[in-house]
């Protein structure tokens, strides 16, 4: 059946890296019969400039109709002075909540060819393959009441609220256990149950769901310990499941274990498997328009899109294999360059991935 995806290039390096991802999709369509239709729309700062809003209605409508969305990145200094409701990032948050994308999957994989790029010793990270499953539409980022108010004594009080309903915990836990079933079958649930009642409930509910997955080994860890363990012995983890804010912080930490922000993809999924896929990095305004950006995180996001939303695991593997081959061949964009490798630009490395794919 013909699938439909929506492409949102976004701002900064977004259009450059997305062009390479589209090249890879075109190659899969032409050489391997991938049955796919692609639409393109504006989101973020470019949408504000053209349509006066970071998430125009037309973009939202196309996103709702699509089977999956591929995003480059949004934001940049040009839009930082806008009212917060009109900033590019609001478009992204709006899309996540409008589409009900509650599960954020962030793999942290170390490519052996890039072991030297990590700030940790090679033996600590060699072979690293962690999947962080972060709850994305609840928790303290969304809880009410929130805001800054003035107290009777004239002082200002800043307030945010951590809330989780049982159903919100249950559905993210199921995502984590389902993913673990396809991996090493280990889930570590990260909370702060010794201090926060809300995460005491989190622990209890995750344990309950764990009973439905007897093949999966479940452990629990406090978030402060998890942060320490991630840099001490990261390979002990298979799947980590955690709340919105803890996941935000821990997934950035895990990403840097691999040493290369330009290599890591991500997926945000709804209850039916529809998702938005994007590299974990931002719009990199410092290198935008220079042809230097690494498109591999975006290309690997396409692989996730094929695996999780289009049910095309073989096509996903083809992409991952092609990226591996290109790295084996020694081509590197400047962010992952090291001695003995050949430095190339965005388009050249995208061409190399497409050529490796065609050659399979």
Residues that bind ligand NAD (CB under 6 A): 13, 17, 73-76, 89, 92, 261-262, 278, 281-287, 293-294, 297, 335
What minimum distance in Å lies between the beta carbon of 215 and ligand NAD? Answer: 34
3 is catalytic: no
Nearest residue (CB) to ligand NAD, 85 versus 150: 85
Q: Which helix (H) or strand (E) holds 332?
A: strand 331-332
Please report the DSSP string for 10-52 in residue order. ESTTHHHHHHHHHHHHHHHHHHH---EEEEE---THHHHHHHS
Nearest residue (CB) to ligand NAD, 76 versus 275: 76
Nearest residue (CB) to ligand NAD, 46 versus 199: 46
What minimum distance in Å lies between the beta carbon of 78 and ligand NAD? Answer: 9
83 is catalytic: no
Catalytic residue among 26, 141, 321, 324: 141
Contacts of 212 (CB under 8 A, 6+ apart): 177
Three-class DSSP category at 70: strand
90 is catalytic: no
What minimum distance in Å lies between the beta carbon of 45 and ligand NAD? Answer: 8
Three-class DSSP category at 231: helix
Cβ pair 21, 70 in contact under 8 A? yes
Nearest residue (CB) to ligand NAD, 143 versus 285: 285
Nearest residue (CB) to ligand NAD, 173 versus 256: 256
What minimum distance in Å lies between the beta carbon of 146 and ligand NAD? Answer: 20
141 is catalytic: yes
Catalytic residue among 248, 292, 308, 335: 248
What minimum distance in Å lies between the beta carbon of 271 and ligand NAD? Answer: 22
What minimum distance in Å lies between the beta carbon of 170 and ligand NAD? Answer: 27
Beta bridge partners of 221: 190
Cβ pair 126, 111 in contact under 8 A? no
Beta bridge partners of 241: 133, 189
DSSP state of 292: -
Please report the DSSP string for 111-128 in residue order. -GGGGGGSSS-HHHHTT-
Nearest residue (CB) to ligand NAD, 173 versus 296: 296
Cβ pair 103, 269 in contact under 8 A? yes
Catalytic residue among 49, 116, 212, 224: 224
Cβ pair 240, 132 in contact under 8 A? yes
Cβ pair 207, 176 in contact under 8 A? no
252 is catalytic: yes
Question: Catalytic positions, please?
Answer: 141, 192, 224, 248, 252
């Amino acid at each position: 059946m013909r699938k439909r995806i929506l492409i949102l290039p976004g701002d900064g390096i977004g259009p450059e890296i997305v062009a390479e991802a589209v090249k890879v999709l075109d190659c899969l369509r032409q050489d391997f019969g991938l049955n796919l239709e692609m639409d393109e729309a504006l989101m973020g700062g470019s949408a504000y400039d053209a349509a006066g809003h970071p998430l125009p209605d037309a973009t939202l409508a196309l996103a709702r109709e699509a089977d999956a969305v591929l995003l480059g990145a949004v934001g940049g200094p040009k839009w930082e002075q806008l009212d917060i409701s009109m900033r590019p990032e609001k478009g992204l948050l709006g899309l996540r909540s409008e589409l009900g994308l509650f599960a954020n999957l962030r793999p942290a994989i170390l490519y052996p060819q890039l072991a030297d790029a990590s700030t940790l010793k090679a033996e600590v990270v060699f072979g690293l393959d962690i999947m962080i499953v972060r709850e994305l539409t609840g928790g303290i980022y969304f809880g009410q009441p929130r805001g800054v108010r003035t107290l009777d004594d004239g002082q200002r009080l800043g307030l945010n609220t951590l809330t989780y309903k049982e159903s919100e915990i249950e559905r993210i836990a199921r995502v984590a256990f389902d993913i673990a079933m396809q991996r090493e079958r280990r889930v570590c649930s990260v909370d702060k149950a010794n201090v926060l009642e809300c995460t005491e409930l989190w622990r209890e509910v995750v344990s309950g769901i764990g009973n439905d997955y007897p093949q999966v080994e479940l452990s629990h860890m406090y978030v402060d310990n998890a942060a320490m363990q991630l840099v001490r012995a990261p390979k002990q983890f298979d799947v980590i499941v955690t709340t919105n804010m803890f996941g935000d912080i821990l997934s950035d930490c895990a990403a840097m274990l691999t040493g290369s922000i330009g290599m890591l993809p991500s997926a945000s999924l709804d209850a039916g498997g529809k998702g938005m896929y994007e590299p974990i990095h931002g719009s990199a305004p410092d290198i935008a328009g220079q042809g230097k950006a690494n498109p591999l995180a975006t290309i690997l996001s396409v692989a996730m899109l094929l695996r999780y939303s289009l049910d095309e695991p073989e096509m996903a593997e083809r992409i991952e294999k092609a990226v591996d081959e290109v790295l084996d061949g020694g081509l590197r964009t400047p962010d992952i360059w090291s001695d003995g490798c050949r430095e190339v630009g965005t388009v050249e490395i995208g061409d190399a991935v497409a050529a490796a794919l065609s050659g399979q």
